[in-house]
Amino acid sequence: MALISFLATGYTQFSKDEFDGIQFGPAIKRGLEHLTTRQDDDGCLVRGDDYLKKHLWGALALTEYCGPIGSPVNQESAAKAVAYLGSRQRPDGSWGTGDGPRPMTTLLALLVIESARAGGLEIPDAMVRGANNALAAQAERDARSSFDPVTTAALLSGTH
């Protein structure tokens, strides 16, 4: 998440800024290398427990980096990470692991998709449409139950 914070605010591996003896540019470069060198051939960035959420955070870092630099290596890694995300989308358009879809995971997937689009990556319309439909359906179900209003608001903000 720290890597995303730097990238989303415009820092890159070429940044010269420093804080408390830590140079931002080299730290960002190491973080990106960590992601890209561990990426599987299928595009997955992380394996193991709760892998999908961890993959989403890594994919968000890669897609955030596509915009300012557009390096072919990072573009390719980001595209593979997003393609992997597409392969994990459930038939109802949501994302989740184990016992069913997770609305907050689907919201995070949409954040990755929007970041990828902003970075110039092509995203299938069906992926976005499916996610929006899944979130709208979840928000409708939540409106009929005693679901947490904060989560419902987050779901509604993800549908557009």
pLDDT digit string, tens, across residues 15-62? 898 899 988 889 888 988 899 999 999 999 988 877 888 999 999 999
Q: Which of 93, 72, 89 is nearest to 136 (CA)?
A: 93
Chain Cα centroid distance, residue 96: 13
Query: What mean pLDDT do residues 88-103 have?
Result: 83
The yes-or-no verdict on residue 118 having pLDDT over 70 is: yes
Tell me what pLDDT residue 39 has: 93
Boundaries of domain holding 68? 2-158
- Record the tokens describing residue 7, joined without a space: 């990238």
Q: What is this structure's pTM?
A: 0.81
* pLDDT number for residue 160: 46
Q: Which residues contact 71 (CB under 8 A, 6 or more apart)?
A: 65
Q: What pLDDT, on the 0 to 100 scale, is given for residue 99?
A: 72
Domain count, the chain: 1
Q: Lowest-pLDDT range, 68-82, 94-108, 146-160?
A: 146-160
Mean pLDDT of the chain: 83
The DSSP call for residue 48 is S
**Beta-carbon contacts of residue 65 (< 8 Å; ≥ 6 apart):** 7, 12, 32, 71, 74, 78, 119
Of residues 99 and 126, more confidence is placed in: 126
Selected residue with higher pLDDT from 49 and 64: 64
d(CA 140, CA 30): 43
The mean pLDDT of 118-147, rounded to a whole number, is: 82
